[in-house]
Amino acid sequence: MRRVLLTEMRRGEAGKVALLAGAAGVWYLLSADVAVSDWIGWWNQASIKVQVFGVIVMGSLMSATAAWTAGRARRTRVDAWSDTAPRGGWSQALLLWAAAWLWSLLVYAVMAAVAFQRTAAVSEVTAPVWSPLVLGAAMTGLQIAAGVCAGTLLPSRITAPAMGVLWYLVFVVLAFLPGLSLARLFPALDEHWDATFQPHTARLLVAALWCAAAALAVLALPALLRRPVFSPGPLAAVPAVLALAAGGVLLTVRAPVGEPFWAVRAEQPAAPVCATEGRVRACLWPDDRHLLPQARDAARAVDRAVGALPGFRRDFRQTGLRPAGPDSAELPVYRPVLDSATMTEAMLGSALPPRPEGCAPHMLRETGGYPDAFLVEAVVNSRAKLVTPYYGDQFAAVLERVLATPAADQDRWLSAAADAIGRCRPVPAPPR
Amino acid sequence: MSVDSHTTAGGSAPTANVEGATVRYKTVVALDGVHADFHPGTTALLGPNGAGKTTLLSLLSTARQPDQGAVSLLGAPVRGRANVRRVRERIGVLPQSFGYYPRYTVREFVEYAAWLRRVPSTERAGRVREALGLVELERYADRRMGALSGGMLRRAGIAQAVVNRPALVLLDEPTVGLDPAQRIGFRTLIRALGERSAVVMSTHLAEDVAQVCDHIHVLLEGRMRFTGSAAELCAEADGHDGTTLDGSAVEAGYLAVVGRNGVPV
């Protein structure tokens, strides 16, 4: 089969379309700005990015191409003699599918290499994540198989574009129905997995098995429906049974409420990586050790701004890390690459104690009716030399006045304000 | 020789045998209880359009099964997956409108046909060379199918039909659309094929029949109305002296069979 497969890969349309999709994919991955990207630097996210592009864009295109190629036998009337061959419809469909899928895998591998290379340039650990990629490859196989099936059964010129649009719509519609169990059978993992999460490898591999088995079973359908004289043998039942079993598992398994289906919480690291400056300590997931310099700068800035003030929190733990104590604050890191100012802003945002649950914010008439915590944050941010949001002239005037007061007065007011916020009381009047 | 029931055209075991085959397309009866044997050599299926020639070929090619009756090929009934597969490995088919993939080269295309016919991979390259040699297309082996002339395409079609060294070759109107020179060359080719396989050729070109065929079946309105040799068909015509065996004599014999059965032509 090797030579015939290579011929089909060389002469069929799948290669051209796969290369086109690959070019678009590589451009998409290369053009991402590292400073604002939500994936360059995180291995999980890099894998998901390739997978989701592979499935939604390349998979849809390749499915359309497969439908076109599969309709070729009828359009060119080759089926008048190929339907009398001892290699029946299933074998012929497998050949077309394999040719298109191999092209997809080739392009997919290039895209994965580009995404991982970009991530490796940022991250200080090397931990490529494979399971979402395996699922994406299998899902592309299922999409191509559906294209071959549709193209064989309905060899109209409209079938190919219809298949492409259909797949795209499936993913769009399923994206709006996140709770739908059926969506697990058509996985395009457009999720955000920061260091807190790890892929649920077992579920991803079961889903990959479902996709691969369903692809092989779907490929047998045209032969079963169209060529009753020479239907696929009992072997066709094997992928069908496997697909039913794997699909059944996917539909019946339940994830804990509020948790993603395809990921699990990562285990706590034995030793998170931490930066300590003065009285401030910031700890990160080991995979995010590349952010340590920014964490150090931020810790220094926070120490300058609120270092000695009672009431403020100075121990920061990246989201998902176990708190060191009741005074630990969560440090949210939404992107794999942050500058020092953004990290400082995130730390200062967490430095104020949280309001007790059910505590409504108190409005400060003097600032124009904004919550009193806004003024406290603005003062702290200004002391750390961060840009503060503009809340109007009245607010700005009060801020300027507070910052003009002696440092000792500011410190006293900030400590009292932090204490008040933590106790759900209105902050004291700003110093004059 | 008029036929009302099962007849054989030779003493040897038939390569293919059709027993009381009836095929219906909705309300139209395409074949009506047809009995026929097909022996080594070249057999012509003669009949007007709609007589059931292509339907009979589709039974012989295993593309479909009769609604009633039975077909056996190479000694095995065309029933059951294993049988059908074995039979298909030993037949070659060239349909009336031969379909091909224009981007494939001739070699690739015949290789694809060899794969479809389950020619073992170790023998495939040699069989492709052999098939291309038989139809004299070796020089064009690396030319794209889409760049071939009509005559060369038909030869490529024969090559794909014989690449598995079939025991039974089915040709549906193989010379239609060829110019006279190509047609003469094609007849030589079909005669050569008939020396190694049983060839069943559907045609309505009497000259082809006279030049090429050892046996003739005449199908009229889904029924087998004549089975015999070309000489026997010629003898059906009034006034035939029994010595001339050319296209016009075959045509006269054929028309006599048609007229005797009251079929409008």
* ipTM score: 0.87
Q: By mean pLDDT, which of A124-128, B109-113, B114-118, B257-261 is the weakest? A: B257-261
The pLDDT assigned to A319 comes to: 92
The pLDDT assigned to B240 comes to: 67
The arithmetic mean of pLDDT across residues A132-156, rounded, is 96
The arithmetic mean of pLDDT across residues A242-254, rounded, is 94
Whether A224 and chain B come into contact, CB under 8 Å, resolves to no
The pLDDT assigned to A321 comes to: 93
With contact defined as beta carbons under 8 Å apart, do B51 and B222 qualify? yes
For A260-284, write each residue's pLDDT tens digit. 899 999 999 988 999 999 999 999 9
Q: What percent of chain B has pLDDT over 70?
A: 92
Q: What percent of chain A has pLDDT over 90?
A: 69
The pLDDT assigned to B7 comes to: 39
Has residue A288 got a pLDDT over 60? yes
Closest chain A residue to B78, measured at CA: A229
* Facing A84 at nearest CB: one of B62, B86, B96: B62
End-to-end CA distance of chain A: 86
The arithmetic mean of pLDDT across residues A383-411, rounded, is 90
For A418-430, write each residue's pLDDT tens digit. 999 988 998 888 8
Amino acid of residue A10: R
For A323-372, write each residue's pLDDT tens digit. 888 889 999 998 999 999 999 999 998 998 888 888 888 888 888 889 98
Tell me which chain A residues have a C-beta less than 8 angstroms from the C-beta of B78: 229
Q: How far apart are CA A59 and CA B33, in angstroms?
A: 51
For A50-98, write each residue's pLDDT tens digit. 999 999 999 999 999 999 999 999 999 999 899 899 998 999 999 999 9
- Hey, are the CB atoms on A229 and B121 less than 8 Å from each other? no
Average pLDDT taken over every residue of chain A:
92
Has residue A112 got a pLDDT over 90? yes
Q: How far apart are CA A69 and CA B156, in angstroms?
A: 22
The arithmetic mean of pLDDT across residues A288-299, rounded, is 94
- Residue A28 burial class via C-beta count within 10 angstroms: exposed 0-12, middle 13-18, buried 19 and up: middle
Has residue A387 got a pLDDT over 50? yes
For B247-264, write each residue's pLDDT tens digit. 788 888 888 888 888 776
Query: Three-class SS string for chain A?
Result: CHHHHHHHHHHCCHHHHHHHHHHHHHHHHHCCCCCCCCCCCCHHHHHHHHHHHHHHHHHHHHHHHHHHHHHHHHHCCCHHHHCCCCCCHHHHHHHHHHHHHHHHHHHHHHHHHHHHHHHHHHCCCCCCCCHHHHHHHHHHHHHHHHHHHHHHHCCCCCHHHHHHHHHHHHHHHHHCCCCCHHHHHCCCCCCCCCCCEEECHHHHHHHHHHHHHHHHHHHHHHHHHHCHHHCCCHHHHHHHHHHHHHHHHHHHCCCCCCCCCCEEECCCCCCCEEEEECCEEEEECHHHHHHHHHHHHHHHHHHHHHCCCCCCCCEEEECCCCCCCCCEEEECCCCCCCCHHHHHHHHHHHHCCCCCCCCCCCEEHHHCCEEHHHHHHHHHHHHCCCCCCCCCHHHHHHHHHHHHCCHHHHHHHHHHHHHHHHCCCCCCCCCC
Has residue B12 got a pLDDT over 90? no
- Hey, are the CB atoms on B94 and A84 less than 8 Å from each other? no
Cβ pairs A/B, distance under 8 A: 87
The pLDDT assigned to A86 comes to: 92
- Hey, are the CB atoms on B81 and A231 less than 8 Å from each other? yes
Closest chain A residue to B60, measured at CA: A84
Whether A181 and chain B come into contact, CB under 8 Å, resolves to no
Q: By mean pLDDT, which of A201-205, B26-30, B90-94 is the weakest? A: B26-30
Has residue A178 got a pLDDT over 70? yes
Q: What percent of chain B has pLDDT over 90?
A: 51
Has residue B6 got a pLDDT over 70? no
* Domain locations in chain A as residue ranges: 2-265, 273-351, 363-422
The pLDDT assigned to A176 comes to: 85
Tell me which chain A residues have a C-beta less than 8 angstroms from the C-beta of B113: 81, 85
Tell me which chain A residues have a C-beta less than 8 angstroms from the C-beta of B94: 81
Has residue A39 got a pLDDT over 90? yes
Which among A145, A158, A166, A136 has a CA at the least distance from the CA of A100? A145
Q: Which of B73, B74, B101, B153 has the highest number of chain A CBs within 10 A, making it the mutation to test binding with A?
A: B101
- Which of A361 and A131 is assigned the larger pLDDT? A131
Has residue A221 got a pLDDT over 90? yes
Closest chain B residue to A90, measured at CA: B116
Torsion of CA A67, A73, A77, A78, to 10 degrees: 180
Query: Three-class SS string for chain B?
Result: CECCCCCCCCCCCCCEEEEEEEEEECCEEEEEEEEEEECCEEEEEECCCCCCHHHHHHHHCCCCCCCEEEEEECCEECCCHHHHHHHHCCEEEECCCCCCCCCCEHHHHHHHHHHHCCCCHHHHHHHHHHHHHHCCCHHHCCCEHHHCCHHHHHHHHHHHHHCCCCCEEEEECCCCCCCHHHHHHHHHHHHHHHHHCEEEEEECCHHHHHHHCCEEEEEECCEEEEEECHHHHHCCCCCCCCCCCCHHHHHHHHHHHHHHCCCCC
The pLDDT assigned to A245 comes to: 97
- The pTM of this model reads 0.89
* Facing A230 at nearest CB: one of B81, B96, B98: B81
**Partners of B23 in the beta sheet?**
B31
Average pLDDT taken over every residue of chain B:
87
- Hey, are the CB atoms on A7 and B104 less than 8 Å from each other? yes
Which among A145, A57, A166 has a CA at the least distance from the CA of A99? A145
The pLDDT assigned to A137 comes to: 97
- Which of A305 and B200 is assigned the larger pLDDT? B200
Q: Which of B58, B87, B91, B115 has the highest number of chain A CBs within 10 A, making it the mutation to test binding with A?
A: B115
Closest chain A residue to B100, measured at CA: A78
Has residue A375 got a pLDDT over 60? yes
* Facing A229 at nearest CB: one of B63, B100, B160: B63
The pLDDT assigned to B260 comes to: 83
Q: Which of A229, A230, A231, A235 has the highest number of chain B CBs within 10 A, making it the mutation to test binding with B?
A: A229
The pLDDT assigned to A194 comes to: 81
- Hey, are the CB atoms on A4 and B63 less than 8 Å from each other? no
For B128-182, write each residue's pLDDT tens digit. 999 999 888 999 999 999 999 888 898 899 999 999 999 999 999 888 777 788 7
- Hey, are the CB atoms on B99 and A78 less than 8 Å from each other? yes
